[in-house]
Amino acid sequence: MATRIRTDSVTDGRPLVKRHGWPVRVWHWINAVVVIVMLMSGLMIFNAHGRLYWGQSGANTDAAWLEIGSTADAGYLQLGSVRVPTTGVLGYWRNGEGVVQRRAFPGWATIPTAYSLSAARRWHLFFAWLLVVPGLLFWLWSVVGGHARALLPMRTELAPRHVWADIRNHARLRFPAGQAALKYNILQKLSYSGVVFGLLPLLVLTGLAMSPAMNAAWPWLLDLFGGRQSARSLHFIAMVLLAAFIVVHLLMVVLAGPYNEIRSMVTGRFRLPAERADAKAEEVA
């Protein structure tokens, strides 16, 4: 997070310091757009068949482990044997003209708004290039420039006592202050490294595994994920986890102080939060 500390100005004893390098900021804002577009276009693609299976093949007559569907007058989400009513939100909802729709996800959550599998695929595949190419460049920069090391937890940080202390501090909205705010805490390291080196590669590889052209070029991809439908299921699960990460990330930005946090990701400059009086007493040995 902190490539180097350079004090520009001081307000109430809190210096304005360098926090994010330009590659981090550029990649962050590219992803902010790309991931949202891919998420929304992916939901439209899911609308073409709102059921998920494991293995190589799957159809309406096969048992699905997840389904978003509808009855005559209600929507539902079914996970295994558990069915949750979702009328008006998922499976059964009304469009802007008040017409009942029986697609899994409503138009306000998809790209395009009106059902079109072909258009959704075009959006999805075009923005996939904007995810992969900058992502590979960011990986290269992270490894060469040492940023990757800042994302990897140290052994002492993985101690249950240390992790629990960080969870407890976040639950109490006691975020790192002073110089500690310039470093990734253990929860940030686990979540950011999990997304950058786990979820995003999984999304790309499972996406490739669903492509007939890639199946012909790299047949090992299907074997790696256990079949086309397994790849589709893993792709969906990774998407849900990424969406959950985005929600939590935005919540943390708001709670930690949106102006300071967003400024650091736009200009790279960050105002150090004042040290708490009880900070030392809460440090984990």
Q: What is the pLDDT of residue 281?
A: 46
Residue 270 sits in the same domain as residue 233: yes
Query: Could you tell me the CATH number of the domain that includes residue 151?
Result: 1.20.950.20
Is 152 strand, coil or helix?
A: coil
d(CA 1, CA 69): 43
Residue 248 is assigned to a structural domain of this protein: yes
Please check whether residue 66 is in contact with residue 48, taking contact to mean a CB–CB distance below 8 angstroms: no
pLDDT given at position 2: 40
16 forms beta bridges with: 271
Q: Report yes or no on 55 lying in a domain.
A: yes
Looking at residue 206, its pLDDT comes to 95
**Average pLDDT across the chain, whole number:** 88
Do 30 and 118 share a structural domain? Answer: yes
Domain tally, the chain:
2
Predicted local distance difference test score (pLDDT) of residue 114: 93
At CB < 8 A and 24+ separation, what contacts does 149-153 make? Answer: 150/1, 150/2, 150/183, 150/184, 151/184, 151/189, 151/192, 151/193, 151/196, 151/197, 152/189, 152/193, 153/186, 153/189, 153/190, 153/193
194 and 187 Cβ atoms separated by less than 8 Å: no
| Residue 103 pLDDT | 95
The answer to whether residue 238 is domain-embedded is yes
pLDDT at 12: 54
Low-confidence ranges of the chain (pLDDT < 70): 1-13, 276-285
- What per-residue confidence (pLDDT) applies to 277? 53
For 20, the 3-state DSSP assignment is coil
Q: In this structure, are residues 9 and 16 in contact, taking their beta carbons and an 8 Å threshold?
A: yes
Residue 4 lies in a domain: no
What range defines the domain where residue 36 resides? 10-50+105-282
